[in-house]
Structure 1
Amino acid sequence: MTDGRRAAAVTPEELLDLDSLLTEEELQIREVVRRVVDDRVRPHVAQWYERGEVPVRELAVEFGKLGLLGMHLTGYGCAGSSAVAYGLACLELEAGDSGVRSLVSVQGSLAMYAIWRFGSEEQKQRWLPPMATGEAIGCFGLTEPDHGSDPANMISRARRDGSDWVLSGGKMWITNAPVADVAVIWARAVEDGAAGRVRGFVVPMDSPGVTAREIRHKMSLRASATGEIVLDDVRLPADAVLPDAAGLGAPLSCLTEARHGIAWGALGAARDCLHTALRYAGEREQFGRPIAGFQLTQAKLADMAVELQKGYLLALHLGRLADRGALRPEQVSVGKLNNVREALAIARQCRTILGANGISGEYPVLRHANNLESVLTYEGTSEVHQLIIGQRLTGLAAFV
């Protein structure tokens, strides 16, 4: 200390010197993504959010040039990056906005991953290269209007008609759907007159009988294109089926991929809120001095910084496990449950430090908080992840 009161300040990330845990390549990838978010997202995102519009195709092409779409996949124009590098990219993207990170997550970890993991070679060659460049946009149709946390009871059906499949049903809350070129749709296959296993289908969105309707009047994820997909006797050739996807385990494995990115991404929103609160507290004066100098404000900042670092260490551990091929679904649930929950708590606490200014669109805090309300429940609600962890701890399923 220089005068008994003021010491050199560090950022929350510098508190535990966590950059020392990353490789040079990981640091470089993080810096590249951070720059594109600073240049392409931050100057515009408040307006996108206010208008409820986002230039998905323009952003996808920008992200495609950097290799961010399907970046953790190999071949077919994908970057083949590590799981940790992908996580760091998600963190930086969500520091801009959760909706922007959702665009990348749905494209790469859901739609592209499903085709990459379960598709035929023809399907991979047809769709993955243009999806990797952002020329083609994908979406992932699992959630239904009446079946969110219970996909096993989906009502979408796929019946055989000669060599063709005919799909009927509907999907709801589908990111990228209003602008997508292709959808990975999950439905129960009707065989021998009875609904059997869940199958996946690669569905061009211009197929007759497919309608995508944008969901308006959202109070969260407004910088994201969200839609409903209606399937009205959509006729598909036999080769539309994902040949290696049979059973509910296939779409659930795709969700595991996406949840890993979310465990990282939520930290980006929290970090942006905390940085904003720190700057604001250092500049805002009350009773003759900056509010950052008051004990109650410092207690809030300290607690939030600690939780942010703990979440980062958890995400990094999960990423290292994934890079060793050792990451299990219940471990991803731990990351998603903890990091999103804590990120939302940080956003809400930061809002209190900003006071009335915390609700202003001039600051990102309430936008992040509103977005995190959606992140808390998509890709598995907190309650679902608690039950996944509980089942692993006890050996007993409590879902029904």
Structure 2
Amino acid sequence: MPLLESAVDLLDLHRGLDDEAVAIRDTTRRFVDRELRPHLADWYEAGALPVREIARTLGGLGLLGMHLEGYGCAGATATAYGLACLELEAGDSGLRSLVSVQGSLAMYAIHRYGGEEQKQRWLPAMATGEAIGCFGLTEPDFGSNPAGMRTHARRDGGDWVLAGTKMWITNGSVADVAVVWARTDDGIRGFLVPVGTPGFTAPEITRKLSLRASVTSELILDDVRLPADAMLPDAAGLSAPLSCLNEARFGIVFGAVGAARDCLDTAIAYAREREIFDRKLAAFQATQLKLADMGVELGKAMLLALHLATLKTQGLLQPHQISAGKLNNVREAIRIARESRTVLGANGISLEYPVLRHANNLESVLTYEGTSEVHQLVIGQALTGTAAFR
């Protein structure tokens, strides 16, 4: 029986992909493998990522805001975007987070809710990676309940004055513009805050045990004064930032498959080479049972991701379906990462192999942009017609 090129090919799901999706997948995979993978362990250990350098290269490949139309964006299909996220996270979750926050949160917010001048000012530069964006919704005391946010914006003559704090913000301290959500007398609104605006600071969060190859920051708004045209004109209410989160969650559905694939491919390669009791580790039934179960779950996760991409392309994808995808795929990816670690034994804890790095990263992916419990409740509401969030 011929060996599979990768564990993700167990069910031959790649056969239904169109040429554009395959080309974007392969281009992204080559870039990650050749240019980024050799440095990932060092970046993770150092707790640093050269965001601007990587962003400019990603922009040159057309991967930033790639699913958006116009303003220098590629207008790629949902499947192609998902596969790019998969390949990026097969490298490291921090890479996919960079692209998700840039394209599906910051750029998407401007693209969908911004005025024409705002779009022209920011989107072309963000698409090339010359400008970096971040997305300020989560607060120190309000993560799963963003409706309780304390950041507020008040009118002062023709200006807006913003005050508050945002937390766990990817790209925050390297961003050129922050999309900040704040409470106003007319409800929750979005604002574009350029870096350098007096009163705005973004100290980096350090000493992380997860997503170390990613820049994570706090945003502090100390009476930040903005002109009236800093507000996103078409974003009114909490539904606006939540729609941005759904865009990013879709990428996570695919990204988690990439992390799981990298772990399982590593475990298979290791088992085929490692000898124990005078036999290859892969020849033991206990090892094959582990690999088989992981391969089946990986295939199911990929099938789910592709199905959701089809629904998104058809304009039929619903929020509770995205929740089902994120809940299942991240949960199974963590299980695959942990089980792969057992195949590698003590070597599994070393940065010479990616499995524990992926496992640690996925602990963050499990809780950001909606914890597992929140997504369970979204699904529960869809099944019962009753909200149980309180």
TM normalised by structure 2 equals: 0.99
Measured after TM superposition, the shift of residue 13 of structure 1 is: 2.6
TM-superposed CA distance for 1:52, in Å, is 0.4
Post-superposition offset of 1:28: 1.0
Kept in 1, the 8 Å contact 2:260–2:298? The answer is yes
Q: Deviations over 1:5-48 (max 9, x none)?
A: xx432232332111111112211110000011011210101000
- Give the 3-state SS of the residue equivalent to 2:202 in structure 1: strand
The correspondence for 2:303, drawn from 297, 313, 318, is 313
The answer as to 2:63 corresponding to 1:73 is no
* Correspondence 1:99 to 2:94: yes
Once the two structures are superposed, the pairs formed by residues 17-56 of structure 1 within 5 Å of their partners are 17-56=12-51
Task: Report Cα offsets for 1:66-92 as digits up to 9, x if no partner.
Answer: 100000000000000001100000000
CA distance in 1, matches of 2:13, 2:386: 37
TM-score (norm 1): 0.97
Among 2, 12, 16, the residue aligned to 1:8: 2
Corresponding position of 1:278: 268
Partner of 1:300: 290
| Other structure's SS at 2:311 match | helix
Aligned partner of 1:13: which letter? Answer: V
Match of 2:167 in 1: 172
Post-superposition shift, 1:367? Answer: 0.2
Following the alignment from structure 1 to structure 2, what is the Cα–Cα distance between the partners of residues 363 and 374?
A: 19
Please tell me whether residue 399 in structure 1 is matched to residue 389 in structure 2: yes
Q: Are 1:57 and 2:52 an aligned pair?
A: yes
> Which stretches of structure 1, 4 residues or more, deviate above 6 A after TM superposition?
none
Structure 1 residue aligned with 2:149: 154
Q: Secondary structure at the match of 2:305?
A: helix
Q: How does 1:228-267 map to 2 (within 5 A)?
A: 228-267=218-257
Task: Note the alpha carbon deviations across 1:121-172, whole angstroms, 9 max, x for none.
Answer: 0000000000000000000000000000000000000000011000000000
- Counterpart CA distance in 2 for 1:216 and 1:305 is 35
The one of 379, 382, 390 aligned to 1:389: 379
Q: Which residue of 1 aligns with 2:340?
A: 350
Q: What SS is found at the alignment partner of 1:390?
A: helix
Q: CA RMSD in A?
A: 0.6
Indicate if the aligned counterparts of 2:8 and 2:302 stay in contact, CA closer than 8 A: no
Q: What percentage of aligned pairs have identical amino acids?
A: 71
Q: Using the TM superposition, give the Cα deviation of residue 206 of structure 1 relative to its aligned residue in structure 2, in angstroms.
A: 1.1
**Cα distance in 2 for residues equivalent to 1:391 and 1:300:** 34
SS in 2 for 1:245: strand
One of 303, 328, 332 as aligned partner of 2:318: 328
Say yes or no: does 1:341 pair with 2:307. Answer: no
**Deviation at residue 205 of structure 1 after TM alignment:** 1.5
Partner of 1:85: 80
> Which ranges of structure 1 fall in alignment gaps of 5 or more residues?
1-6
2: CA distance, partners of 1:233 / 1:178: 19
Q: Report the Cα distance in structure 2 between the residues aligned to 1:185 and 1:278, rounded to whole angstroms.
A: 44
**Residue 332 of structure 1 aligns to which amino acid in structure 2?**
I
SS of 2:161's partner is strand
Distance 2:124 2:265 in 1: 37
Distance 1:327 1:8 in 2: 37
Q: Distance in 2 between matches of 1:217 and 1:137?
A: 23
Q: Counterparts of 1:164 and 1:8 in 2: how far apart (Å)?
A: 67
Partners in 2 of 1:8 and 1:121 — Cα distance? Answer: 55
Alignment of 1:166-205 (within 5 A): 166-189=161-184, 191=185, 196-205=186-195
Q: Which residue is 1:366 aligned to?
A: 356
Alignment of structure 1 residues 118-133 onto 2, 5 Å: 118-133=113-128
CA distance in 2, matches of 1:60, 1:347: 27
Per-residue CA distance 1:169-201 (angstroms, 9 max, x = gap): 000000000100000000001x3xxxx410000
CA distance in 2, matches of 1:47, 1:181: 26
In 2: Cα distance, 1:342 partner to 1:23 partner = 27
Matched position secondary structure for 2:221: strand
How many residues align? The count is 389
Q: Give deviations 1:232-256, integer Å, cap 9, x for gaps.
A: 0000000000000000000000000
Q: What is the rounded CA distance, in whole Å, between the counterparts of 1:30 and 1:318 in structure 2?
A: 17
Letter paired with 2:137: L
CA distance in 2, matches of 1:73, 1:289: 52
